[in-house]
Amino acid sequence: MEFNLYEQDWSKYLQLEQGQLEIRKTLPRGNSHLAPEQVLQAQKARLIEAAALCIHKNGYAATSVQDIIQQAGVSRSTFYKLFQDKEACYFYCFKKLSSLHLSVLMQAYQAHKVDARPAFEVATLAFIQQLTVNPIYVNAFFALAPYSTAAVVAELNVVKTHYVTLLAYWFAILPENIARLSLPQDVFKIVVEGVFSYLRHWIMQGQVQSQESVHHHICYVIFSTLGIHTWAAQHLAQLR
């Protein structure tokens, strides 16, 4: 039976829990049974979600600590107990999200690594679907990351380097009858930069295309750039 990507259960790769994606409107008042560290963690979750919502709406530069704490319903002193400043809050969120996405991609690839082409395709689609779990988080901490701070941009470049290394390694271990080219590292950098730019545009435009379309576009670009033209043509045919 032919492997069908779009009939797979992707939930096992989507690690963000929906219960963590809704802003906590209230915290227990008075003498609750929660330990102080539990209350602090709940407040941290509210601040992160509030930061995501504010940055999603207004951008990083136009969002202040006051905006975040007002949205979260948390005191200024609590914010500074958890984060040094707005940049530290944003950097924490960016690191969490980027680590999650990398983990999702690697888990998906490993689950299908015995068959080269599905492994590439599954990893790509799982990553794309992860981006749709919570559009507010992804816009705030992925699409808008290049427009935030120098520290985040530097970390974003580290993240891209991880993807370049993975792509180059996965290409290198393909059978010789599939991968006949010897490619310099810059080719893999161009692919990753292009995919990231395309996904940022897709997210910032409100994800007007279907996940399936985006997946075929990306796979076509990856496979055609790497010289695997048979695989690329099959994705191009799905777009016609």
In a shared domain, residues 125 and 221: yes
Write the burial class of residue 212 (CB in 10 Å: 0-12 exposed, 13-18 middle, 19+ buried). middle
For residue 5, the 8-state DSSP code is G
Q: Please answer whether residues 43 and 89 qualify as being in contact, where contact means their C-beta atoms are separated by less than 8 angstroms.
A: no
Give, in order, the Cα–Cα distances in Å from 192 to each of 53, 165, 232: 27, 10, 16
In a shared domain, residues 101 and 160: yes
In a shared domain, residues 100 and 207: yes
In a shared domain, residues 139 and 107: yes
Contacts of 17 (CB under 8 A, 6+ apart): none
The torsion region of residue 74 among left (phi > 0), alpha (psi -120 to 50) and beta comes to beta
1 belongs to a structural domain: no
166 belongs to a structural domain: yes
In a shared domain, residues 137 and 236: yes
143 belongs to a structural domain: yes
236 belongs to a structural domain: yes
In a shared domain, residues 221 and 161: yes
- Quick: pLDDT tens for 168-183: 999 999 988 888 889 9
Burial string for 33-51 (b: 16+ CB within 10 Å, else e) reads eeeeeeeeebbbbbbbbbb
In a shared domain, residues 122 and 227: yes
- Residue 52, domain CATH: 1.10.10
Domain range for 117: 93-240
In a shared domain, residues 76 and 135: no
Using the Cα atoms of residue 193, residue 160, residue 204 and residue 217 in order, give the sign of their dihedral. positive
Q: Which of 236, 215, 199, 180 is nearest to 6 (CA)?
A: 215
- Quick: pLDDT tens for 12-30: 444 444 334 444 444 544 4
Whole-prediction pTM: 0.84
In a shared domain, residues 97 and 77: no
4 belongs to a structural domain: no
pLDDT for 78 equals: 93
In a shared domain, residues 120 and 163: yes
In a shared domain, residues 126 and 174: yes
CA distance 222 to 229: 10
Domains in the chain: how many in total?
2
In a shared domain, residues 67 and 160: no
pLDDT by residue for the chain (240 residues), tens digit each? 234 444 444 444 444 443 344 444 445 444 456 677 777 888 999 999 999 999 999 999 999 999 999 999 999 999 999 999 999 999 999 999 999 999 999 999 998 888 889 999 999 999 998 888 889 999 999 999 999 999 999 999 999 999 999 999 999 999 888 888 899 999 999 999 999 999 999 999 887 788 899 999 999 999 999 999 999 999 999 987
pLDDT for 229 equals: 94
